[in-house]
Homo-oligomer: A and B are copies of this chain.
Amino acid sequence: MAALDLFGRRWSLRILWELRAGPLGFRPLQKRCDDMSSSVMRQRLTELLDAQVIHQLPDSRYELTPLGQEARHALNPLARWAERWAATIDPQGADHIDDQSASRVSHPDTVGDGAPERGSAD
């Protein structure tokens, strides 16, 4: 149950999701999360940190812990469902939904491809 409370908060799932491809700094992560407020961002980050779902690297970027990775993987079926769902409710033209909604979800898995988004190219 408590998990439903942790993830029932506004951006928790999203943060978990956006961290799937590798560690991200505060501001880059914020940008990925539809530019959410930094105040809430910090709050969610603290909660996730406290729940040991993420941790902070020496260079201050945030990364999923092993536990967090498992959580992310546990989210996969839901992501897959979301695709089917989007196709079901809105098969003709979903413009009220974000454009990058259902098209390219779920590919990067245990990626490690390395989009660490360090100082240079973004």
Contact = CB atoms under 8 A, between A and B. Distances in A.
Interface in A60-107: 67, 70-71, 73-82, 84-86, 88-89, 97-98, 100-102, 105
Identical copies in the complex:
2
A4 B73 CA distance: 15
A85 B86 CA distance: 30
Interface string A1-17: 11110011111111001
Consensus secondary structure, chain A interface:
helix
B85 A71 contact: yes
Given A75-B78, A78-B71, A81-B70, A100 B1 contact: yes
Interface of A: 1-4, 7-14, 17, 51-53, 67, 70-71, 73-82, 84-86, 88-89, 97-98, 100-102, 105
